[in-house]
Each structure stands twice: as structure tokens, then as C-alpha cells.
Amino acid sequence: MDVVRDTDPDNTLPSSDGLTHLRLDGTAHMVDVSAKDVTTREASASAVVHTTKDVLALLGAGDLPKGDALAVARVAGIMAAKKTPELIPLCHPLPISKVTVDFELGLDTVAILATVKTRGVTGVEMEALTAASVAALSVYDMIKAVDKHAVISGVRVLAKSGGKSGDWSLAEGAP
């Protein structure tokens, strides 16, 4: 049996293509963030659930067969943000300071906005994406009895702030 040895024992060298989660030999590792400065970091992400006008009326009134879907989805999104390092293998556990999950009901969509904040050494984009995704999955779970054709789309980071790379936000009109 071949033994795979750590060719970069300090986990400091990125792969030749610059991917920070890959070492020179191409194997995955958790990035060393111990030398990074602690700063306030925030990220927002979104997801969209597409359904019918009738389902949105039930959703807005809290009259779905399973109950108040938005309240359940909000708590699910908050819990998911806190569990991100358990779900995404190379994410660092972070001291989450704040998580918000908000909903905007459209004609045939539920837009979900998740914002996560921390004071730490690495960003919270993955936590925001996880919160938005799980909130969307929870909405889907709550409405599937009345709409088997619901679709989740548009999961993406909208903005981030803090850290060495600075602030970023999705440009207006971006896909």
C-alpha cells in the first residue's frame, strides 16, 4: 500500500494553481489562519424558492399544513450557520456573533437573505451560504405537500466585509 506523506507539513504552501485548500502535492488541507488578524467580518447570501401564487398566499398567512414555514425556516437557517464547519469539511469553526434570516414574498417566489457576522480570523461567506441554503430547504420541506414542483435557485454570496481582502459586493445586474 502506498503511503501518502504530507509534503508540506506546515500547510503553508498553496498548490501551484493558487488554490489555498490544496497543497503542492494536490491533497486537501485546512488552511492555517493562525497568523491572520482578528477583524469584524460579515457576509450576506441569498436563495430563492419558486412556487405558486396560491402557495405564497398560504405561506404569508401561516396557513400551510405544516404550520408557520417562515418561522421554522428562519430558525433552521440560524442553526445551519452555526453548524457550517460540521457540514463543510474544510471550514473553520468561528465564533458567530449574529445571524439574521429574512424573507421577501414575491408573486411566485420567496427570496431569502441570510447575514452572518463574526469577529474572527476568517470570513463567514460559507456560514451565510449555508444559512440561506438550509432556510430555502426548510421552506421547500414546509411547502412540498402543496407544491411538488417548487424549485430552489439563486444561492449566492451577495456581499462580504472585513479581513485582508477587504469589502466586496455583487455588482448590480450580475447574474
Domains of the chain: 39-163 (3.30.70.640)
pLDDT band at 34 (very low <50, low <70, confident <90, very high): confident
The CA distance from 67 to 78, in Å, is 19
Instruction: Indicate the average pLDDT of the chain.
Output: 88
Per the DSSP assignment, residues forming a β-bridge with 143 are none
d(CA 125, CA 12): 22
pLDDT over 90 percentage in the chain: 68
C-alpha distances out from residue 82 to 21, 122, 123, Å: 21, 15, 14
Catalytic site residue from 63, 141, 147, 167: 141
26 versus 68: the higher-pLDDT residue is 68
Average pLDDT over residues 47-52: 98
Non-local CB neighbours of 151 within 8 Å, separated by 6+ positions: 49, 50
Question: Model confidence at 36, in pLDDT bands (50, 70, 90)?
Answer: confident
For residue 56, pLDDT beyond 80:
yes
The helices-and-strands tally (H runs, E runs) of the chain is 3, 5
Determine whether 25 is an active site residue.
Answer: no
